[in-house]
Amino acid sequence: MKEIIALREVRSFFVGGDLVRLSGLPIREIPTIPGAPLRCADPNGTYAVGQLYVQQYLQANPTASYPVHLWHGGGLTGACWETTPDGRPGWLDVFLRRGFDTYLTDAPERGRASWAPYPTINAEAPWHRTLEMAWWMFRFGPEGGYDPDPAKWRTYPDLKFPVEAAETFLKQFVARWGSRTSDAWAISAYAELLDQSDPGVVVAHSQGGLYALDLAARHPDRLLGLVLVEPVAPRDEQFNYAALNSTPILIVTGDNLTSRPALEAFCLRARAAGSAVKWLDLPQLGVTGNSHMLMMDTNNLAIAIQVLKWMEENISVIASR
């Protein structure tokens, strides 16, 4: 691991999205400067919707021969790959210190990618996840395990999520829209990003895994491999498993996995179609207590090292270029 992250450039850009024009809406007046008159705000006009926000870290002396993309899951942003909620380095730090050119994204409708006005453009209302729901969905503990009084928190045995920082973690939750709205925008924008970058490895979490698999099935030439962290498995009967043949896939999952049946079904089908999916099932390796947010767990760096080892063995030679 490099002690210094030496970068040629830190940059950002937007890809994908559409221009949408609204008309016939009433004008609003909004307060923007205390003490000044209300501002006349005309909502009629042109909006950009569905775009992807991309931060790009370009190494001064890359020691990896391909880039890595970090894709977050539902209700979160690229911030989930940066520092952990309790202040330790996240996986962005790992990939930067290992010399990878790294792309960190906010998917459409989240974070710096912005979100489309509703109900005027996006008919559906957004959904904000509560900490109560995250507690069991992200498997910190059982349903009802969060309480405003930390003394009453109930967590799973050996929990490796830094649960003392759970309320800090909540600060990075963002609104999400349902799959009918967001998925097409996200997949289209991610396809555009992959088209304009060198083929690389996508490291995708949760909902991001669903997008990554969709793209691997449709644009396998744009991807050298997939690392799917606690992914959502495709449920679509039309999913083209055979197209995954050429893409090495690593799945990494934590403890108390509720989506195990869906992931097992996915692996069966993918392997039957000829794909060499490798599943790093942490509890089966004796590593207990990892949550859905395993890139933030206390052993996040040890897991990252396992991922890097798989990449070294399965992607292509990581060498100076």
d(CA 20, CA 277): 40
d(CA 201, CA 312): 11
- The answer to whether residue 13 forms part of the interface with its own copies (CB under 8 A) is yes
Q: Which one of 68, 70, 92, 217 is in contact with its own copies (CB under 8 A)? A: 92
Residue 215: CB minimum distance to its own copies, A: 15
Residue 261: CB minimum distance to its own copies, A: 12
- The answer to whether residue 153 forms part of the interface with its own copies (CB under 8 A) is no
x/- letters, 274..313, toward its own copies (CB under 8 A): ----------------------------------------
- The answer to whether residue 254 forms part of the interface with its own copies (CB under 8 A) is no
Scanning residues 224 to 243, which ones bind its own copies (CB under 8 A)? 232, 234-237
Residue 62: CB minimum distance to its own copies, A: 12
Closest CA to 14 of 42, 50, 41: 50
With b for 16 or more beta-carbon neighbours within 10 A and e for fewer, the 224-244 pattern comes to: bbbbbbbbbbbeeeebebebb
3-class DSSP assignment, residue 275: coil
x/- letters, 186..225, toward its own copies (CB under 8 A): ---------------------x--x---------------
- The answer to whether residue 173 forms part of the interface with its own copies (CB under 8 A) is yes
- The answer to whether residue 132 forms part of the interface with its own copies (CB under 8 A) is yes
- The answer to whether residue 258 forms part of the interface with its own copies (CB under 8 A) is no
Please identify which residue in the block is written with the tokens 């069991």: 136
Scanning residues 61 to 80, which ones bind its own copies (CB under 8 A)? 74, 77-79
d(CA 26, CA 237): 44
- The answer to whether residue 11 forms part of the interface with its own copies (CB under 8 A) is yes
- The answer to whether residue 83 forms part of the interface with its own copies (CB under 8 A) is yes
Identify which of residues 10 and 276 has a Cβ nearer to its own copies in the complex. Answer: 10
d(CA 311, CA 176): 31
> What letter would DSSP give residue 85?
T
Nearest-10 Cα torsion for 12, 225, 115, 119: 160
Indicate the helix (H) or strand (E) that contains 302. helix 300-314
